[in-house]
Chains A and B, each alone.
Chain A
Amino acid sequence: GAGVSQSPSNKVTEKGKDVELRCDPISGHTALYWYRQSLGQGLEFLIYFQGNSAPDKSGLPSDRFSAERTGGSVSTLTIQRTQQEDSAVYLCASSLGQGVIDTQYFGPGTRLTVL
């Protein structure tokens, strides 16, 4: 079956512009995560959706970042007024929502470059 897909794969934008990153999770997965990864580094948690519960937004670095998940499926991460420090790979993962033993299935990521 299809895995997690993300679009676009690469995005180059100018400082101050808004960007939207899309994530299509695996069908039937109730949990969805967004992470940010700087070059060759570990993952920084951004936001977590589980079913119809309110999302855990505790990892969002500023109010310029927001995310939504429509119909319990597709998710969009929006960054407003982008800054150069926002440049990174943004990874999305989905899972069955099995708690701390959850297997997260990651997409290939969106590489964002802010000039």
Chain B
Amino acid sequence: TQLLEQSPQFLSIQEGENLTVYCNSSSVFSSLQWYRQEPGEGPVLLVTVVTGGEVKKLKRLTFQFGDARKDSSLHITAAQPGDTGLYLCAGGKVVSTGNQFYFGTGTSLTVIP
């Protein structure tokens, strides 16, 4: 069962364009993380947000956690070829056995020079 759905699944844009990736769920999460994964490598953490409505900026990337802590968005301004990769959101929950992270379905971004 996939708790987190991402959209779009695939995105191909020209260098310089803006884009937004969405991560949606019907479940509430204690935290929401975004990772970027390049081919042949493991995901690398970009950001963690924990408060409903929280907005974090990382250079040209803006991350927002929904007020109800069920969804999140990633906005990239003036995309560059180096932004190409698979973007994954991950929701953190405290469960009876400890902590679990539920990963989204992924968004594959290609930025064309």
Give chain A's interface residues, CB within 8 Å of chain B: 4, 33, 35, 40-45, 48, 50, 53-54, 56, 58, 91, 93, 99-109
Q: Is the CB of A101 within 8 A of B98?
A: no
Q: Is the CB of A100 within 8 A of B31?
A: yes
Q: Is the CB of B106 within 8 A of A40?
A: yes
Q: Is the CB of A93 within 8 A of B42?
A: yes
B76-113 residues at the A interface, CB under 8 angstroms: 86, 88, 90, 92-95, 97-106, 108
- 29 CB contacts below 8 A, A to B, read A41-B105, A41-B106, A42-B4, A42-B6, A42-B103, A42-B106, A43-B43, A43-B88, A43-B103, A45-B100, A45-B101, A45-B103, A48-B99, A50-B98, A50-B99, A56-B100, A58-B100, A100-B29, A100-B30, A100-B99, A101-B50, A102-B92, A104-B101, A106-B43, A106-B44, A108-B40, A108-B42, A109-B40, A109-B42
**Top 8 closest pairs, chain A to chain B, by CB:** A106-B42, A100-B92, A56-B97, A43-B103, A100-B31, A100-B30, A42-B103, A42-B106
Say yes or no: is B25 at the interface (Cβ < 8 Å to chain A).
no
Q: Is the CB of B48 within 8 A of A103?
A: yes
Chain B residue contacts of A40, Cβ below 8 A: 86, 106, 108
Give chain B's interface residues, CB within 8 Å of chain A: 2, 4, 6, 29-31, 40-45, 48, 50, 86, 88, 90, 92-95, 97-106, 108
Q: A40-B86, A100-B31 are in contact. Are A48 and B98 (CB under 8 A)?
A: yes
A106 to B6 CA separation, bound complex (whole angstroms): 21
Chain B residue contacts of A41, Cβ below 8 A: 105-106
Shortest CB distance A33–B (Å): 8
Which of B86, B92, B103 is A35 in contact with, Cβ under 8 Å? B103
The residue among B93, B99, B103 with the most chain A CB atoms within 10 A of its own CB is B99
Shortest CB distance A99–B (Å): 5
A107 to B42 CA separation, bound complex (whole angstroms): 5
- The residue of chain B having its C-beta at the shortest distance from the C-beta of A44 within the complex is B103
Q: Is the CB of A42 within 8 A of B42?
A: no
A91 to B6 CA separation, bound complex (whole angstroms): 20
